[in-house]
Structures are given as structure tokens and as C-alpha cells.
A and B are shown apart, each in its own frame.
Chain A
Amino acid sequence: MYNYYLTIVLAPLAAAIIAGLAGKQIGRAGSHWITILGVGTSCALSMLVLMNMFWGGAVAENISVYTWAVTDGLRMEVGFLVDRLTALMMCVVTFVSLMVHIYTIGYMREDPGYQRFFSYISLFTFAMLMLVMSNNFLQLFFGWEAVGLVSYLLIGFWYKKETAIFANLKAFLVNRVGDFGFILGIAAVVMFTGSLDYAEVFSQADSVATQNIEVFSGTPWNAMTLICILLFIGAMGKSAQAPLHVWLPDSMEGPTPISALIHAATMVTAGIFMVARMSPLFELSTTALAVVIVVGSFTAFFMGLLGIVQNDIKRVVAYSTLSQLGYMTVALGASAYSAAIFHLMTHAFFKALLFLAAGSVIIAMHHEQDIRKMGGIRKYMPITYWTSLIGSLALIGFPGSSGFFSKDLLIEAVKESHWHGQGLVYWIAYLSVLLGVFVTALYSFRMFFLVFHGKERMDAETKSHLHETPAVVTVPLILLAIPSAVIGWYTVGPVLFGDYFGDAIFVKDTQDVIAHMTSGWHGSLALLLHAVMTPVFWLAAAGVFAAWFLYLYRSDIPAKIKDRMSGVYNLLDRKYYFDDLWINGFAAGGRALGQLLWKKGDELIIDGLLVNGTARTVGRIAAAVRQLQTGYLYTYAFAMIIGLTVLLGWLIWLR
């Protein structure tokens, strides 16, 4: 299988290099064919790997590719760990990537940077595969930062746009704040285990959990708690958990295909994947899991609320992504790793679908993104309409859709996770994910109704051109709509309750909430029939009803609410002032500090007083003895040598 794995990783890289360096020579069509070929190969082989795991009984493989460096007893390698978790991620990544490649042919048709774009998205696929297939922390960090690089390049793809190049810098720097924690976490892993290799580190996990470290002297912290929290800070950056979420909405400045691929389906789930991969570590620190669950809860609920006040079609979906990433994080914190990964998978399909559908609308609307200027598009764009409906229903967890199975069971798992005790943490988590269902349904269908139903609010010019997008756009929509609709039904049994993950995910018996739920599992149909009995269903229904009532039936009400509750509205509109905290707080503060250190520290004190002061003094002395001397610099320097020699010689010999 080694050659398969290498091909899976290198095919997109090779395609990216060719399209990037020889884009002009091979032309536009050449670029999209070569990259689609590369990613298509990866996708086909990844599915083969997954099928081998699923039906062929293939076991996990841990292979070293090459030794990056060895020094001081620390081996730093590049290698693959392909187990059931990895195989699933590989398929999700390559499949969504392939769809996005095809879609891009239509979306970027008129863009002068066509080849560059294909090169970047193929490079992204390579980096993401390196991340998920890694068997060690070094390569994980490589993939982690490499996807960040491509994300930076793609958000700023339209580099003339001031908002885009602001957003990409912001994204990179906020991610670096997360990586700051992440690299310290890796350093902590090395400190306590002496290794970067997953298998080696996991085998020592129990002993690490018994050790302490005094970060502040006098207060010992559990080593595992410190490691996990530091690693999780990395996940917070990449998976956009509050307060490191601020970059994701702005990342919508990039072209829509990458919003689907990178900022919805794959890269932003890297943090979720990483925590699941590190389950043998996180399981040993309930403190870290509590941090995870609280951060996730906050993000799941409060970021969802922001989706309600957004008017840019992509930003609504972006806030929805934040909220859904929060759901996954909550599941991680509840030790329901498999539920988190399952939701990650279904979310990848339906969220990529929603973004690409939004992109389809944007193309048809001639790059208008404001949903207040849309409406009634349903009859012009039937394929986009129906696929969007499937995506939206999956997002709100409509019974039977893929999102239903993943979200319903995720919430169930949080509800059953009593090991945190019945304390505050439990209720924060449970209420957030439960009430979040209503919020999700409200913002999803607010957007859906405003875009596809109701009055046609666009201008006549736009309306006259409004028609369904070409097949390169709609075919990926359909291909993503299929798994969004049905994949949950088929896979929920084996993935969640059939021990699909096996050894790939480790859960302590006392915390194994999924195992606890297995006794109540009687198949997809039973769950479906049971659906109407749950609060989740009724909350979602209420959300859709509220959206219909407020935005179609009595569309005058939202404006009144806005007037009445301007305080709340402002809080939401300003996104809880997080942006102000980062931009006016940290960034401006950093610049002010830099200015202070430069002007006062370097120029005034060091240069002004010490250096030039000394020089002036030397100059004055020199002037005094000028009559005796030649006046050349060398002479003074020579005099200084003699003086200093005598001085230091005296110090050393006389002591």
C-alpha cells in the first residue's frame, strides 16, 4: 500500500507544481485537466484504501517515508499513519476537493489567475493530506502550517482587493496565535516523552498523565492537562473557535470555491481531526476536556446567533460553519470523538454544498452577495434551489438527512455525557447544542427564504440575465447533494455503533458515552421514527417556522425588532466586539509598543545616550588632544586600543 499512499499525496503536489510553474505553457484547460487528474487519482485511491479498511479487513499501517533529521536522540521523520480515521478523512478531503476542482472551471472561468488558482487548490489538497496522514507531530505541524499558507494565498487570491489582503493577513496572524500554542504543545510532548512519533507518544501517555510541571513556581500542573490545552489552542486557531474565530468570516473575501473547500469542509476541521487523533492524550485529562467543551459550547451557540444578522450570503454560511465547528468541539469535549468525526464528515458534504450553491447564486447574480437584493430565485435556478434545500435541511438536521443522524446523535451524546458531573459544564454544553438547533434552523431558513422565495428584489438588469448556472457548476452540486441527503442513513450504524474506528480513537471506559448509547441503538429506521419525539426535532421545526413567519409572512417584523432591541442588535452586528478586541486591542497595542521600543528604546536610550553619547565624549576628548594628534579616526582607535588593553590587562592580572 506504500506506493498508493505516496501517490495519493504526491499526485496533487505534482499537479500543483506543473500548473503553478508551467501554467502559461499548458494553458487554462491544461491546468484544470492536470490538477483534476491529480486530485482524481488521489480520490480514487483514497476510496480504495477506505474500502480495503471497511470490507477488506485491512489493518492500520504506520510507515516511515524518510528521516527528516536526527539529532540529540530525537528522531524527526516524515511518515504515514493510515488507519480508519485517516482513511475517512482522506476520502472526505479528496472527494470535496475533486468537486471543487470541477466547480472551479465554471466559477473562475473569466479570471486571469485561472492557472494559479488551480495550482493553489491542488497544493492545498497535498498539504491537507500530509496533515491527516501524518504519523508524527512534526509532519502534522508541517501540514498544519502549509494549509494555513495556502489559505493565506487563496483568501488573498484577488490581491488587488484591499479587503482581501486585509483578511488574509488577519487569517494568517490569528492562526499563528493558535500555532503559538500548538508548537508549545508539541514541545511539551517532546519534553515528557522524548519523541514526536504518535505511537511512541501514545504508549507513554499513562506515565505522562502522572507527572507535573510547574509553569508558575509553586503551582504544579498536570503535564497532560498542559499538553492538551496547548495543543487545543492550535485547534482553536485552525478550527476557528472563539476567541480565535475572527479570521473565518473575513476569509469569505476569497473566491467561493475555496470557501467551500478550505473554510468549510476540510482545513477548518483540521483542529477537530487533530483532537480526535490525540484522543489517547485528551482522554487522560478531564480538565482539558472541560476546556474543550466550554469553548465549543460558546462557539456553537453564540456564533450561530451572529448568522441571523448577516446579510452577505457567504457570511451567513461562514457563521454557520463556526457554529457547526463548535458542535464538533463540544462532542470532542464529551469524549464522543466518533460523533465529532461523523458530524465532520456529513458537515463537509452539506456545507461544501451550501457554499457552492451560494457561489452558483453569486455567479447568476453577477457577483452580488447581499441577500436583501435577492429573492424568488427559485424559479430561475431549479437545480441550485433543490440542492440548496437539501443542504439546508441537512444542516438543520431534518429527519433522514445526513445532518440528522450526525447532529441528533451528537446532541444525544452530549446529553448522556454525565462524567463531567451534573455541574455547570454539563449544562452549558447541553443547553448550547440544544438551543443551537433552533438558531441554526432560523438563520439557515432565513437565508433560504430570502434568496429563493418571496419578492424578487434584484434590479431589472440582473433579473434579465438570471438563469441556471452551467453543468460544471451544477454537477458538483448534485454530486454533493447525494451524500448530504443519504450518507448518514447508511453509515451511522457502522461508524458510530459498529466500532468502525477501532483502535484509531481511544476512549476511556468510564467516559465512553457512545458505548453507553449503543444499547439504545436499533438502527437508522428506529432513530428516524423516534425523531419526532425529541426536542431537537421540535426546536428545528420552530426555527424554520420562525424564519418563515419573520422573513416571508410578516417581513415587517424584523425591522421592528431591530429598532426595539438596538442594544442586542448592535452587539450582534459588531460580532460581540471580538474584532475590535483584536484589531484595536492587540494589533494596535502591538504597533504602539513597537513604536515605543523603537523610538524610546533604540533611538533615544541606546543610540542617543549610550552610543552617540559615547561618541561625542570620545569626540570631545579627541578635540582636546587634537593638537597632539593627526586627527584620523585610526589614530583615535589606536589610542583606544592601548587604553583598553591596559585597562583589561590590569583587571585580569591584578584581579
Chain B
Amino acid sequence: MEFSAHLLSILIWLPILGGAALVAIGDGNDAGSSRARLMRMAALGISVLTFLLSIGLYAGFDNTATGMQFNEQIPWVASLNVFYALGVDGISAPLILLTTFITPLVVIASWDTIKSRPAQYFAAFLILEGLMIGVFSALDALLFYVFWEAMLIPMFLIIGVWGGARRVYATLKFFLYTFLGSVLMLVAFIYLYGQTGGFDLFGFMAAPLSLTAQKLIFVAFLIAFAVKVPMWPVHTWLPDAHVEAPTGGSVILAAIMLKMGGYGFIRLSLPIVPDGSEYFAGMMIALSLIAVVYIGFVALMQKDMKKLIAYSSIAHMGFVTLGFFILWSFDGGTGAGLGITGGMVQMISHGLISGAMFLCVGVLYDRVHSREIADYGGVANTMPVFAAFMVLFAMANAGLPGTSGFVGEFMVIIASFKANFWFAFLAATTLILGAAYTLWMIKRVIYGEVANDNVAALKDLNGREFLVLAILAVSVLIVGLWPAPLVDMMNVTIEKLIEQVGQTKL
């Protein structure tokens, strides 16, 4: 059995089976026991191994190939023409790498902060990891849908079991929003099955569709993906979910699960219903710009750090959808590709930065058990190393050049200016708003005199926390200073996508 021929399957099933084993063995609900310690080590081992294996995906990836790579295809439900079909291209491979990169960091970060049922907790993350990789690599719509829905369960449990006080409200909201959305996607898949006689995504892309059908399918997809991104006005579940989620849950939610929405748009909406997408592009751009500006202002007034970062995520994800949907605003030349590349880079970068920001809040929460900005002040006095990291990530969140946060925003702003001056004008307000809400928080939390006894008693980062934040800091800087390797991975795929979307299906 050749390694690279089954690499995607290994990346999907290794963490899922590993997670299942963890659940099966269990920890006797005693976080201090040696069995629990062993389970933690196992979780770390599996996630690190998955990451190391995923390096093979990067090493073996052909930047010049126009088709899918690392393909696998075996019949699954032969009578319905359903396949277990996997493969990656320049759009999905970076997202898979992001997933395998973030998961071990989450495991390390949650190391001894979870007191109840740690084995199950880590198992949930491993299973989630495998399912998310499944979403990014599925080439069969039904398989995609199965992974997509299954992904909800571990996240639902993570928030519902290990979450904060209002976790029931948050999980209900999270579940209803995301479940309602994806149901419509299934309907669209079934319709497309009726048209093509199979669930092959490439079959969907090739199928001729009337404009009305395309519009309806677009709306069905839109609801599923817009909730995940999340786009205004279906975003209100996110701040609640984040606030109640444990740190690790927030990190995965922000860093990877939100990317599902962006990925859905670029993998399904654009190529399957190009004319429908074009029809709604104006609305999508408007919603994206509302996300950037409206949410930017809302983020400014947040009193809870996690809510603030959650709102900041929504605003940053606005750049992703903006970059994708300005596609039709150009008649040749530089623009469309820049927008999509910018959106993609923004997704990766946001994964690193928002993950890091949530980890920073987690570091404080573990010590003081508060997320309220008002409960802090002068943290730099007692935690200088932590303060340095937090300021760095805050600057990255504010899109400082040299950090990854700048790359995508820069590309999208450049591209959208060419599309329409006012798109760029509104998008560029993030320079002011992003800096305002992030740095105002920094001012109130990090700087100033020691605010109270809790802050005075703070201990600086331990080795484990330092390791996680340092790894993220280095990656944020690498992507910011040299995004070429990432961009080169995407270029050919995005060129092909634009060509494909440019051809009408009518």
C-alpha cells in the first residue's frame, strides 16, 4: 500500500480512530490519575503524528498541477452512485495543514486545564480534527455532507459538556443555526443528484443548470455557509458560542470551523452555480462590507474579551467573502485572482491569529477566571512575557504588515479598489476599526498600573503556554514576512477556478 495514495484517508481516520480509542479506554473521570495522564499523552501523540504525516501532503504537493491530488476513490453506496472520493488542491491543502497544525497546539494548551473527563475531551478534539480534514478533502457531495454534519457533534459536546454557565443556551443557538443551514444544503445536493445521477462534485460543476435553479441552490448553500463564516446577520451565535466554549473549543471554532463557510463558498457555490453566484454577488459584497464596518463598531464596545475577539473574527471573515465575491467586478487584468488569493490567505492567517488570541484569553482566564476586560489592567507588570505575545498577536489582528494578518487584507483591499472605490473605502476602515478595538483592549488589559489583587498575583507563562504561543508567533511572522510558499500553493488552483467560474452554465 503506497503511502501517498492513502495519505488523506490516514489523516482523516488516524485521529478519528485514535479519538474513539481514547473514549473506549476512558480515564475513570479522574484527571489526576495515571490513566488520564496516559490518555493525554496519547492524544498529543496522535495529533502530533497526524501533523507530521500532513507534512507529506505539503512535501508531495505539486504546485503546478491543475487537477486534484492525492486522489482516492472507492465505491461507497454503489446503487446510489456514492463514492468515498477524496482529493486536495491548492484551496483545500492549506486548510488541511492549518487543521493538523492547530490541533496539537490545542491539545498542549488544554493539557491540565480540563479537570473533568479529560480523555473524552481530547477524544472530541481528535475526532473533530479527522472530520474537518474529511470536509476539506471530500470530493463526493454526500461524503462531504456526512463529514459536515458529523463535525457538529463533537463541537456540540465540547461546548455543552465543558462549557461555561450559559452553555445550554449557546449550544442550542449554535446547533439550531448551523443545523438549519446545512439541511438546506442537503436539499440542494439531492436536487443536483437528480440532475447528474451521482454525488460527484465535478459532476455537479459540469452540470448545466437554469438560472432559477442556480439561484435557489445558491440560496440553499448560502444559508449553510453564511452561518458558518459567519456573515452578518446570521452571526449572533458565534459570540455566544465562544463565550461559553472552553479555550480549546474557541480556538478550533475560530481557527478552523469558521473556515468551513469560506471553503464551502469557494469549493461549492462558485463552481457549481457560477451564474447564481454572480447574480447574488452584489448582495454578498454588501453583506461582507457590513461585516467589516458594522461588526467593527460592535467589537469596539465589547466588555468581554472573548466576545470582542469573536466579533473581530466576523469582521475579518468579511474580507474572505469580499475577496471571493468581487470576482465578477473585473474585465481582465489583475483583480479576481488577487481577491480570491487574499480571501484564502486571510482564512489561514485568521486561523493562526484568532487561535492565538483565544489562547491568550485562555491563559488569563485560567488564572483569574474572568473574561471581563474590566477585571484586568496592568497585566504587563506581572506577566511581561505574556504581554509581549499578546501585543504581537493584537498587532497581527490589527493587520500590521510583517504579520500574517496584513497579507490577505492587503490583497483584498487592492483588488476591491479596482472593483469599486467604495468597496475598498469601506474595507479599508478595518485599518482604523481593527486597530481601535484590538489596541483599546490591550490598553485596558495589558497596560496601566496593576489594577487589583488578582492581577498582582498573576504568574507569567509556564513552559507549556510559552511553547504554544511561541509556535503561533513564529508562524504568524513567517506567513507575514514570506507568504510566497502559501500563495504559490494556491495560484494554479485559483487561476483554474476563475476560468471555470467565468464560463456560464446557462
Contacts and interface: CB of A to CB of B under 8 A. Distances in A.
B187 A644 contact: yes
Nearest to B498: A72
Interface string A176-200: 1101100110111011001000000
Contacts of B486: 69
Contacts of B487: 69-71
Interface in A603-655: 606-607, 610-611, 615, 633, 637, 640-641, 644-645, 648-649, 651-653, 655
A611 B184 contact: no
Between A67, A72, A165, A590, the greatest number of chain B beta carbons within 10 A of the residue's beta carbon is seen for A72
Interface string A37-57: 000000000000000000000
A615 to B, nearest CB: 7
Given A72-B334, A141-B401, A607 B299 contact: no
Interface residues of B, number: 80
Contact of B436 (A74, A173, A598): A173
Interface stretch (B69-77, B93-101, B112-120, B413-421): B413-421
Interface in B360-407: 378, 380-381, 391, 395, 400-402, 406-407
A66 B482 contact: yes
B440 to A, nearest CB: 7
Given A68-B484, A146-B402, A184-B428, A73 B333 contact: yes
Interface secondary structure of A, over-half rule: helix
B334 A169 contact: no
Given A183-B410, A637-B179, A601 B401 contact: no
A215 interface: yes
A644 B425 CA distance: 39
Given A215-B421, A645-B186, A594 B432 contact: no
B431 interface: yes
Nearest to B337: A72
Nearest to B486: A69
Interface stretch (B47-55, B212-220, B245-253): B212-220
A142 B401 contact: yes
B300 A648 contact: no
A6 to B, nearest CB: 15
B407 A69 contact: yes
Interface string B291-322: 00010011111100000000000000000000
Contact of A606 (B180, B236, B418, B429): B236
A488 to B, nearest CB: 36
A394 B50 CA distance: 67
A180 B297 contact: no
B401 A597 contact: no
Interface in A116-157: 138, 141-142, 145-146, 149, 152-153, 156
A435 B236 CA distance: 58
Interface string A294-324: 0000000000000000000000000000000
Interface stretch (B27-35, B268-276, B441-449): B441-449
B414 A186 contact: yes
Contact of A71 (B236, B443, B491): B491
Contacts of A291: none
B105 interface: no
A201 to B, nearest CB: 13
B175 interface: yes
B10 interface: no
A641 B183 contact: yes
Contacts of A68: 481-484
A279 to B, nearest CB: 23
B337 A159 contact: no
B172 interface: yes
A640 B180 contact: yes
B482 A184 contact: no
A160 B180 CA distance: 49
B149 to A, nearest CB: 11
A593 B297 contact: yes
Given A159-B448, A169-B443, A640 B432 contact: no
Contacts of B297: 590, 593-594, 597-598
Contacts of A138: 401, 410
A71 B336 CA distance: 10
A165 B447 contact: yes
B439 interface: yes
A618 to B, nearest CB: 8
Nearest to A142: B401
Interface string B472-506: 00000000011110111011001000000000000
B172 A74 contact: no
B183 A180 contact: no
Interface string A568-612: 000000000000000000000011011101100110001100110
Contacts of A551: none
Given A71-B491, A640-B180, A644-B180, A149 B400 contact: yes
Interface in B171-187: 172-173, 175-177, 179-180, 183-184, 186-187
A538 B422 CA distance: 51
A204 B228 CA distance: 44
Contacts of A176: 431-432, 435-436
Nearest to A177: B432
A597 B435 contact: no
Contacts of A653: 191
B176 A615 contact: yes
A160 B335 contact: no
Given A68-B482, A184-B428, A607-B236, A649 B190 contact: yes
Nearest to B345: A69
- Say which size band chain A's interface belongs to: 35 or more
A160 to B, nearest CB: 5
A70 B484 contact: yes
A172 interface: yes
Contacts of A640: 180, 183
A213 interface: yes
Nearest to B186: A645
B448 A162 contact: yes
B484 A69 contact: yes
A102 to B, nearest CB: 26
A160 B421 CA distance: 42
Nearest to A605: B233
Contacts of A70: 484, 487-488, 491
A602 B435 contact: no
Contacts of A610: 233
B411 interface: yes
Contact of A649 (B175, B191, B333, B407): B191
B334 A160 contact: no
Nearest to B191: A652
B341 interface: yes
Contact of B395 (A149, A159, A215): A149
A655 B212 contact: yes
Given A68-B483, A159-B448, 14 more contacts: A72-B341, A145-B406, A152-B439, A159-B447, A162-B449, A165-B448, A169-B443, A190-B414, A594-B298, A597-B298, A602-B236, A615-B172, A645-B187, A652-B216
Kindly list the 8 A-B residue pairs having the minimum CB-CB distance in the complex, ordered from nearest: A72-B337, A187-B417, A594-B297, A594-B301, A594-B300, A142-B401, A165-B447, A69-B487
Interface of A: 66-74, 138, 141-142, 145-146, 149, 152-153, 156, 159-160, 162, 165-166, 169, 172-173, 176-177, 179-180, 183-184, 186-188, 190-191, 194, 213, 215, 590-591, 593-595, 597-598, 601-602, 606-607, 610-611, 615, 633, 637, 640-641, 644-645, 648-649, 651-653, 655
13 contacts: A71-B487, A71-B490, A160-B449, A165-B443, A172-B439, A176-B436, A180-B429, A183-B413, A194-B333, A593-B297, A633-B172, A648-B188, A648-B216
Interface of B: 172-173, 175-177, 179-180, 183-184, 186-188, 190-191, 212-213, 216-217, 220, 233, 236-237, 294, 297-302, 333-338, 341, 378, 380-381, 391, 395, 400-402, 406-407, 410-411, 413-414, 416-418, 421-422, 424-425, 428-429, 431-432, 435-436, 439-440, 443, 446-449, 481-484, 486-488, 490-491, 494
